[in-house]
Amino acid sequence: MRTWLRHHRYALRVALRRLRLHPFSSLANIVVIALMLAVPILGAAVLQSSQPLARQLAVAPELTLFLTPGTTAPQQQALIGKLRAQAGDKLADAHLLPRDQALRQLRADPAWAQALDALADNPLPDAIIVTLHDSDTPAQVAQSLAETWRTWPGVDHVQLDSEWVRRLESLLSFVRVGLGLLAVAVIVVVLATVFNTVRLQALTQRDEIAVARLVGATESFVRRPFLYLGALTGLAASLLALLLAWLAMAPLNTLLGRFAQSYGIEWAMQLPATPDLLLSGLLVIILGAVAARLSVTHHTQF
């Protein structure tokens, strides 16, 4: 056990010394990886901060079912009962809005009063106003129910009053896909950068490696410092990316705050949860070590 720890301490010291011997190239590699990592961190912050936005803007999504002309009162009540039975716990409320009451509400609005006075009779249909319970995916639930209700007898048209929620969720889905593609790009950048760094280090140290083999050094002993070099590069890049993302959030939150206030809402970006950040940093460290392992396997066989 002591020998194992001593070998790893030696490998760590060698890796740190090699980083110090090439400060500019090491720093350049760390900055490149950090910049690539900072972008998905900010993207994840936007996505996470946007999740409750739909609930903040509209707590209760609504649908309006316009009934076909001539629907009798018993048929209307039967439709309301069918709605409650079919929607179950998704339905918060369902009530009838008679056409006469809807007309009175429109007449109370000065913008509509004069236009309605020119009409000979009431052009509005009876309607059922449906309010849904809040959920994590309000647009998907409302859209699914609307598609079902459009096929019912007695229902002429279904209007989804929270159409903007669907657009917001579509945008968030697009952001999720974009973050996934960006994560793949980050993996490629980390592997390529560390692979090339370790390759150059191995070629630079080829004489030292040859001498070490002559005195009995094993392959694992030769490769271990390079693995630590890749892992340290990933660790430094992760910490720098977190710092860059944190610094970038201050001006972004200022701009977002002004934009959100114009709509009467509060919206501020926050960094992803600590466990998520730790997991992503660990993955980058592992990627750095894997890239170093791949590179050193191909470029230390002198």
CATH number, residue 118: 3.30.70.3040
Report, as an integer, the average pLDDT of 137-147.
76
Residue 106 in this model has a pLDDT that exceeds 80: no
Which of 139, 161, 183 is the last residue in one of the domains? 161
Rounded CA-CA distance 124/101 in Å is 10
Rounded CA-CA distance 225/169 in Å is 47
pLDDT of amino acid 243: 92
Same domain, 175 and 66: no
Same domain, 288 and 188: yes
Which of 161, 176, 210 is the last residue in one of the domains? 161
Same domain, 36 and 82: no
Same domain, 181 and 72: no
Sheet with 91-97, edge to edge strand ranges: 91-97, 127-132, 62-67, 155-160
pLDDT of amino acid 239: 92
Which of 161, 195, 230 is the last residue in one of the domains? 161
Residue 165 in this model has a pLDDT that exceeds 70: no
Which run of H or of E encompasses 158?
strand 155-160
CB 165, CB 54: distance < 8 Å:
yes
Same domain, 176 and 278: yes
Same domain, 142 and 69: yes
Report, as an integer, the average pLDDT of 134-155.
78
Q: What percent of the chain has pLDDT over 90?
A: 1
* Domain range for 111: 59-161
pLDDT of amino acid 269: 78
Same domain, 86 and 179: no
Residue 263 phi/psi, 5° resolution? -105, 5
Query: What is the number of domains present in the chain?
Result: 2
Query: Which residues, other chains included, contact 30 with Cβ-Cβ below 8 Å and sequence gap of 6+?
Result: 233, 236, 237, 240
**CB count, 10 Å around CB of 125?**
18
Same domain, 119 and 220: no
Residue 124 phi/psi, 5° resolution? -85, 145
Same domain, 50 and 115: no
Report, as an integer, the average pLDDT of 14-26.
77
- Render pLDDT for 22-53 as a digit per residue (tens, 0 to 9): 778 778 888 888 888 888 888 888 777 766 55
Q: At 188, is the pLDDT very low, low, confident or very high (cuts 50, 70, 90)?
A: confident
Residue 302 in this model has a pLDDT that exceeds 50: no
Same domain, 101 and 84: yes
Mean pLDDT of the chain: 77
Rounded CA-CA distance 275/283 in Å is 12
pLDDT greater at residue 271 or residue 197: 271
Tell me, yes or no, if the pTM score tops 0.75. Answer: no
Residue 140 in this model has a pLDDT that exceeds 60: yes
Same domain, 156 and 92: yes
Same domain, 9 and 130: no
